Amino acid sequence: MPIVEYKKLSLVDYPGNTCAVVYFSKCNLRCVYCHNPKLVLDELMESRIDEKVLFREIIQFLSKRKNIIDGVVLTGGEPLLHDRIIKIAGLIKDLGLKVKLDTNGVQYGKLKELLHNDLVDYVALDYKGDRENIKEITGISNESLVIENWFKSFRILLESEVDFELRTTLVKGFHNTNNLISMAKEIIHSRDCGDFKWYLQSFRRDEKVLSDYSKDDVTLHAYSDQEVSEMLELLKKLGFIVEKR
């Protein structure tokens, strides 16, 4: 059951484009601040959804709206966990619509396949933390593999012709200035390899997040606008193109 729901129209999920948004279930990470626990945790997923019926409905909807919207965002959960992502992206491209992918970058092989087959037009790649904080942010135990795979995805994107962005959600108590500088230093060589933007946003508590379902007592705090702006200036000084979301 990879596809679990869709949004018919969004003006904010695909920079510069009107789009529909298709949500995929499951994720290989467990980020404390995740706003989509019902797509990530098996026990919260709607088991009654008939994915074939939903998928048919989505394609029919997109066929009717293909002259009204510019593209489709594939998001999740983690869309690249599903083998069918290639076919689904292909069907959307066949309708003449652009495809934007949101990914955590761990499944670099699928990303490569999508890019190789010209099935994606824009990628938003999460850059979640540095080697110090990635484990506690993403709740995974094999952080070395996650980091290694993420860098493969990043390099694949740098070498591709496809536009992409990095995006980091900052959580007070999990990220500090040192983490951010160390993240910047890890990719400092890339400033001259492409003109990708790096977006910073603070964690916001407007609904239940993944850590609310954890047995551990985790408290998440937001950074103020001013604090995010100060971090943004630091990255700009290091030569990155950075914006706030």
Q: What does the block give as tokens for 171? A: 């959580």
Q: Does 134 bind ligand SF4 (CB under 6 A)?
A: no
What residues have CB less than 8 Å from 15, skipping those under 6 apart? Answer: 122, 165
Contact 140, 30 (CB under 8 A): yes
Contact 97, 69 (CB under 8 A): yes
93 versus 100: smaller Cβ distance to ligand SF4: 100
Could you tell me the smallest distance in angstroms from the CB atom of residue 40 to ligand SF4? 5
106 versus 120: smaller Cβ distance to ligand SF4: 106
Strand partners, 122: 100, 163
Q: Does 32 bind ligand SF4 (CB under 6 A)?
A: no
Q: Does 171 bind ligand SF4 (CB under 6 A)?
A: no
For CA atoms 92, 95, 100, 105, the dihedral sign is positive
Could you tell me the smallest distance in angstroms from the CB atom of residue 127 to ligand SF4? 11
Binding part of the chain for ligand SF4, among 9-17, 27-35, 57-65, 141-149 by CB under 6 A, reads: 27-35
Distance of alpha carbon 62 from alpha carbon 144, whole angstroms = 40
Could you tell me how many residues make up the chain? 245
Binding part of the chain for ligand SF4, among 29-37, 53-61, 87-95, 144-152 by CB under 6 A, reads: 29-37
The 10 Å Cβ neighbour count of residue 100 is 24
Q: Does 78 bind ligand SF4 (CB under 6 A)?
A: yes
Q: Does 36 bind ligand SF4 (CB under 6 A)?
A: yes
Q: Does 77 bind ligand SF4 (CB under 6 A)?
A: yes
Could you tell me the smallest distance in angstroms from the CB atom of residue 134 to ligand SF4? 11
Could you tell me the smallest distance in angstroms from the CB atom of residue 104 to ligand SF4? 4
Q: What does the block give as tokens for 174? A: 């999990």
Could you tell me the smallest distance in angstroms from the CB atom of residue 210 to ligand SF4? 6
Burial 156-167 (b: 16+ CB within 10 A, else e): bbeebebbbbbb
Amino acid at 9: L
Binding part of the chain for ligand SF4, among 74-82, 114-122, 180-188, 233-241 by CB under 6 A, reads: 74-82
31 versus 58: smaller Cβ distance to ligand SF4: 31
- CA-closest candidate to residue 78, choices 31, 9, 11: 31
104 versus 149: smaller Cβ distance to ligand SF4: 104
Distance of alpha carbon 95 from alpha carbon 106, whole angstroms = 28
Binding part of the chain for ligand SF4, among 28-36, 157-165, 176-184, 225-233 by CB under 6 A, reads: 28-36
Q: What residue ranges bind ligand SF4 (CB under 6 A)?
A: 27, 29-31, 34, 36, 40, 76-78, 104
